[in-house]
Structure 1
Amino acid sequence: MLTTFFISCLVLGALVGLLAGLLGIGGGLVIVPALVYLLPIAGVDPSIVMPIALATSLATIVLTSVSAVRAHHKNRNIPWELARQIMLVVAVGALLGAFIADTLSGQTLTYIFATAVSLLAVYMLVSIKRPTSRAMPSAFVFQVSGLITGIMASLMGIAGGAILIPLLSYFGVQMRQSIGVATACGLVVALFGSLGYIVTGLEQTNLPNWSLGYIYLPALVGISLTSSLFARYGVKLSAKLPVRTLKKAFAVFLILVAIRMAF
């Protein structure tokens, strides 16, 4: 049973890496719904499947985003003076999100994930290029936005780039720099969100073996082993395939998955 689950996670990691490289999407949007279906195979109690899926997704992002942050820093894509303004509040938000998740039922977490993913997918479908002449908001508004991003990303098990990149682009930050800031903040979200899920999970008595708080280590290892490897192939495919069309198709797929999870 555990062997089947681990092999499934290896395949999932390959798919996540391929899609991340090809479409530039965050792995959590795929990992969370996939784990919701896979974790029962490993005998995980249905009442804690959702927090384990969220926590494990964030933990995989920690392992896979370190090299991305280094690469963006090396290429000068991260304006650190801008990133530092929200990294602290994003971290606080990620911790808060993990503690909020611990107080909610698995069904409520599923509804939150499904609703938020549907909204993000709709944005992917209808988004248009916006003018880049808008001024940045005040520091207070920017930090509140970062706090909300951290909370929502932690509740969804994602890095938060799907929220931050459109926000930063809307206020005129160049796309490369928006991605760089989102990558750096995503690492912070994943790190502190994972920490929060570890702490809140320690009090649980029905966790499966090989768990660190809510993080399920066999899933973490399986997904991480293949995701980084296949990301490079996704990048190569992106130069040959119609990425814009594929993104629209993936957005429709996300909406269908969200509806299926909710009902």
Structure 2
Amino acid sequence: MDWALVLILLAMGAAGGFAAGLLGIGGGMVLVPFITMIFTARGFAPELVVHMAIATSLATILFTSVSSVRAHHKMKAVQWRIVALLTPGILLGSWLGPWIAKQMNSSALALFFGIFITVSATQMLLGKKPSAARELPGTGGMFAAGGAIGVVAGLVGAGGGFLSVPFMSWCNVKIHNAVATSAALGFPIALAGTLSNIYFGWGEPGLPEHSLGFIYVPALLVIVAASMSMAPLGARTAHRLPVATLRKVFAIILYFLAAYMLWKAFH
């Protein structure tokens, strides 16, 4: 990699890490569109750029989730019983997500991501939270819920918070516990999804040098270095600024990123 690319990736990782700490969102929301732009500009195979962007984004969560979980655990906010019940389904779903993505061409995958990020941005902009309506389901229901969360997270390269937090809130889990527990779920999502992306991408024709399956390792290392250093700053800033206003601004940014991915789907 040349220094210009390293600087771009550092800036992108810093922005993603800061936003994750500030707003509690998964890095995939920001990273995937930008990584797609960068890989496209670098001349990577057009049929692989979206797959690689999603895989590389998901792999960053392996590293960034650890510090987040540690902070939430110190505050005794993580509901580890819920983590234990959701994780089996999440592991299966997060493994299947990249396999499903491999069956899709780059345009279809970009379209799916664009629609998903549009829905997520709308949820963020409106600030609507599901009303608490019931208790957590039994073991079978939790496995199914974890599987659904894992599949979507594996498909879009995100930590699953936009699905797991509303699900837990709907099931009468207090919001701060839901956010903390969702952060803990990011690790099994990233672990299974990363291993799946390595396995199903291994030996894929057209991958650039220094790829590990669909993961582009140089970009992963640079992004992780920047995002892990900026996430704590974002978390501290969240206590000083009007986060509700920032969420609305960020939602508008997400609409632009969604528009790019939708454009990418048809070009």
- Higher mean C-alpha deviation, range 192-201 or range 15-24: 15-24
Cα distance in 1 for residues equivalent to 2:31 and 2:49: 13
Do the aligned partners of residues 87 and 28 (structure 1) sit closer, same or farther apart at CA in structure 2, a change above 3 Å counting?
same
- Higher mean C-alpha deviation, range 15-24 or range 213-222: 15-24
Unaligned runs of 5+ in 1: none
Cα distance in 2 for residues equivalent to 1:98 and 1:126: 30
Cα distance in 1 for residues equivalent to 2:110 and 2:238: 31
Does the 8 Å CA contact 1:2/1:42 hold for their aligned counterparts? no
Q: Map 1:225-236 onto structure 2 (within 5 A).
A: 225-236=225-236
Does the 8 Å CA contact 1:5/1:41 hold for their aligned counterparts? no
For 1:255, the equivalent position in structure 2 comes to 255
Do the aligned partners of residues 233 and 68 (structure 1) sit closer, same or farther apart at CA in structure 2, a change above 3 Å counting?
closer
Does the 8 Å CA contact 2:210/2:217 hold for their aligned counterparts? yes
Does the 8 Å CA contact 1:90/1:188 hold for their aligned counterparts? yes
| 1:244 CA drift (Å) | 0.2
For 1:86, the equivalent position in structure 2 comes to 86
Cα distance in 2 for residues equivalent to 1:2 and 1:261: 26
Do the aligned partners of residues 146 and 41 (structure 1) sit closer, same or farther apart at CA in structure 2, a change above 3 Å counting?
same
| 1:237 CA drift (Å) | 2.2
Q: After TM superposition, where is structure 1 displaced by more than 4 Å over at least 4 residues in a row? A: none
Q: Map 1:179-198 onto structure 2 (within 5 A).
A: 179-198=179-198
Please give the per-residue CA displacement for 1:80-111, whole angstroms capped at 9, x wherever unaligned: 22211110110100000011111110111101
| 1:14 CA drift (Å) | 0.9
Cα distance in 2 for residues equivalent to 1:129 and 1:68: 22
- Higher mean C-alpha deviation, range 88-97 or range 126-135: 126-135
Determine helix, strand or coil for the equivalent of 1:47: coil
Please give the per-residue CA displacement for 1:177-220, whole angstroms capped at 9, x wherever unaligned: 21222112111011110100001111312111111111101110
Cα distance in 1 for residues equivalent to 2:112 and 2:241: 33
**AA partner of residue 23 (structure 1):** L
Cα distance in 2 for residues equivalent to 1:60 and 1:242: 28
- Please, what TM-score do these two structures have when normalized by structure 2? 0.93
- Please, what TM-score do these two structures have when normalized by structure 1? 0.94
Identity value in percent: 36
Cα distance in 1 for residues equivalent to 2:188 and 2:234: 25
**AA partner of residue 167 (structure 2):** L
Asked if 1:241 is matched to 2:241, the reply is yes
Unaligned runs of 5+ in 2: none
Does the 8 Å CA contact 1:5/1:42 hold for their aligned counterparts? no
Please give the per-residue CA displacement for 1:220-248, whole angstroms capped at 9, x wherever unaligned: 01111111111222223223322101101
For 2:211, the equivalent position in structure 1 comes to 211
For 1:121, the equivalent position in structure 2 comes to 121
Cα distance in 1 for residues equivalent to 2:113 and 2:41: 21
* Count of matched residue pairs: 263
